[in-house]
Amino acid sequence: MKMSRLAKSLLGLTLLVGCAPQMPTAMNTSRSTVGAMRAPVTAQGASTASSLLLTDNFNAWIRQKQRNDGFGGDVPSVPVEGQTVAALPAATGSKTLTYMTYEALDNNLYGDLNSILDTLELIGSNPQMNLLAQTDNFGPGNAARYMIQQHAQMGQIVSPHVKLGEAGENSGDPRVFADAVRWGFSSYPAKTNWLNISTHGMGFAGINTDDNPQASMNIINFNQALKSGLGSKKLDIVSFDACLMATVEVGSELKDSANIMVGSEDSTYYWGKGYAKTFSKIAANPTAMNPDQVVRSMVVDVHDKGASNQTLTISATDLRKIGELEAELDNLARALRRVMPTQSANIIRAARASQEFHLAQGIPFRDINRLGALLKQNVKDTEVAKIVDRINNVMYRRGVIMFSRQSKQQNDQGRGLSIYLPTEGDVSPLYRQTRFAKSTQWDEFLLDMNQAIKVAAGIAR
């Protein structure tokens, strides 16, 4: 029996479960199926799911899709590679850069880990740069911390590591994450601090998924753990090699913890080739590149991979300025609420015409720039049009969006940041707890619009 759009909704997110192990045909390469997209795709034939599954049990939701895609977790525990040592080399004074990557890959992405470590070893730590990793591969007993050493031969990991045992086993535990951050940036001080996250992601709803044991974080407790680990420090850069993390909600949550955020509005696939290019530039002259220059280089290098480019969108966002964008989005929400009684059909039409990210497969994170253009076309209100213009000015002239790139198949939708915009009749309760929702009227606008959708469908009055 066919389900209605409303019946299939999960708090405004059309029934989606887990990460796809298959790339789109046009993007498929020789990589194995464990090199999966790092966020959910549509579950064909699925008919039931808890309405709270996505926001309240994100990791179980990921696991369900993994099972649907044939990943049953029946692979053996993956051993830690490299040189096991009792203790990692101590810091030798403050350096120009400390880069730490948190590899939460105890899931169907486990096959990416050695490629990531291999890529980092092409550059390696040096007198001006610390390259660190905390890793959790598939299965128990294989969490480790690495000091990345230079090694030019791909296919063999040689860097020293210490095994963490049970203390580091659950990469989805905020306490484990906080301890990793504390270790990396307190033990290896530097002028510039850069944290990378490599895992499954879905904006405010989930990050850092772990299958053994089952756990994950939402963006609220992720940021709480991050702040706990940093103490009085603030990151210069936080980057997400995880799907759907370049959202205004994520940026708003992290603005006191990091200055710049790099991520994708859409799906991501392993960004390693871009890492190598960027780090080789830094290694050549570490003192010559400030964080703004580093993220611009990363956006270009990750996106520019020729025929093997699997990057749909990538952007660098200046979180030091994101408050200006929050204020204008609040103004937009208030203006749309004002005209809702007479223009609800026009607002809904504009919202539904904007592209849902993750290969347009139903996840209601929509590009802010494209949404604004559609609102100007459909909503007949001078104030709304003026606010949209101010939003674009803040994003692109004032520099909230420092740099962005999109693949051709995005059709110019993916200009830097997306926003949560469900159009199925429901709004996530978790969303209303985010910093962005609490500081703006965007969640109230979403409730008003989705109530209008229910009324139009004859479900409410």
Helices (H) and strands (E) in the chain, counts: 14, 19
Contact at 8 Å (CB) between 330 and 336? no
Q: What is the C-alpha radius of gyration for the chain, rounded to an integer number of angstroms?
A: 22
Average pLDDT, the chain: 82
Which candidate, 323, 193, 201, places its Cα nearest to that of 255? 323
Please check whether residue 77 lies inside any domain of the structure.
no
Picking from 195, 182, 179, the residue whose alpha carbon sits closest to that of residue 231 is 182
Same-domain status, 419 and 272: no
Q: What is the pLDDT of residues 429-440, one digit of tens each?
A: 899 999 999 999
| 312, 267 contact by CB (below 8 A) | yes
- 319-353 per-residue burial string, b: 16 or more CB within 10 A, e: under 16: bebbebbbebbbbbbbbbbebbeebbebbbbbbee
Q: Which pLDDT tens digit goes with each residue over 265-307? A: 987 766 666 778 888 888 888 888 899 999 998 898 887 755 4
Express each pLDDT in 188-201 by its tens digit: 999 999 999 999 88
Q: What integer pLDDT is reported at residue 177 of this predicted model?
A: 97
Query: In which band, very low, low, confident or very high, does the pLDDT at 44 lie, cut at 50, 70 and 90?
Result: very low
How distant is the alpha carbon of residue 136 from its chain centre? Answer: 18
Please check whether residues 332 and 315 belong to one and the same domain.
no
How confident is the model over 364-405, as pLDDT tens digits? Answer: 899 999 999 999 999 999 999 999 999 999 999 999 999 888
Alpha helices in 110-201 (DSSP H): 113-121, 174-187
Give the predicted TM-score (pTM) of the model: 0.87
| Residue 73, domain member (yes or no) | no
Do 288 and 335 fall within a single domain? no
Inform me whether the pLDDT recorded for 35 exceeds 80: no
Span 110-126, average pLDDT: 89
Edge-first strand order for the sheet with 363-367 is: 356-356, 363-367, 418-420
pLDDT digits (tens, 9 = 90+) for 140-176: 888 999 999 999 888 899 999 999 988 888 999 999 9
Please name the residues in contact with 377: beta carbons below 8 A apart, sequence gap of 6 or more: 350
- Residue 358 domain flag: yes
pLDDT of 248 above 90: yes
Q: Where are the alpha helices (DSSP H) in 285-412?
A: 291-303, 322-353, 357-360, 368-378, 382-392
- Same domain, yes or no, for 310 and 342? no
Domain identity same for 136 and 283: yes
Last residue of a domain, one of 273, 298, 321: 321
Residue 78 lies in a domain: no
Examine the domain organization and report whether 51 and 110 are in the same domain. no
Between CA 364 and CA 367 the distance in angstroms is 10
| 403 and 263 share one domain | no
Task: Check pLDDT > 70 for residue 72.
Answer: no
C-alpha distances (whole Å) from 57 to each of 17, 34, 349 are 11, 23, 31
Burial class (CB in 10 A: 0-12, 13-18, 19+), 102: buried
Residue 10 in contact with residue 58, Cβ under 8 Å? no
Helices (H), 231-321: 248-254, 272-284, 291-303
Residues 304 and 180 reside in one and the same domain: yes
Return the CATH number at 120.
3.40.50.11970
DSSP 201: B
Residues 138 and 245 in one domain: yes
pLDDT digits (tens, 9 = 90+) for 74-98: 666 777 889 999 999 999 888 999 9
pLDDT confidence of residue 405: 83
Q: How far is CA 15 from the centre of its chain?
A: 20
Position 169 scores a pLDDT of 87
Q: For position 106, what pLDDT does the model report?
A: 86
108 and 58 inside one domain: no
Pairing of strands 418-420, 13-14: unpaired
Q: How many domains does the chain have?
A: 3
Q: Say if 1 falls within a structural domain.
A: no
Say what the pLDDT of residue 103 is.
94
Backbone angles phi, psi at 166, to 5 degrees: -65, -25
Q: Is residue 3 part of a domain?
A: no
Which residue among 321, 336, 353 closes a domain? 321
Tell me what the mean pLDDT of segment 195-208 comes to.
92
Q: Which of 285, 300, 321 is the last residue of a domain?
A: 321
Tell me whether strands 160-163 and 235-241 are parallel, antiparallel or unpaired. unpaired
Q: Are residues 48 and 149 in the same domain?
A: no
- Specify whether 242 is located in the same domain as 119: yes
Q: Which of 230, 440, 452, 257 lies closest to 335, judged by CA?
A: 440
Cβ-count burial 185-218 (b if 16+ within 10 Å, e if not) = bebbebebbbbbbbbbbbbbbbbbbbbbebbbbb
> For residue 37, is pLDDT > 60?
no
Helices 219-230 and 174-187: crossing angle in degrees, nearest 10, is 30
Domain range for 219 is 83-321
Residue 461 lies in a domain: no
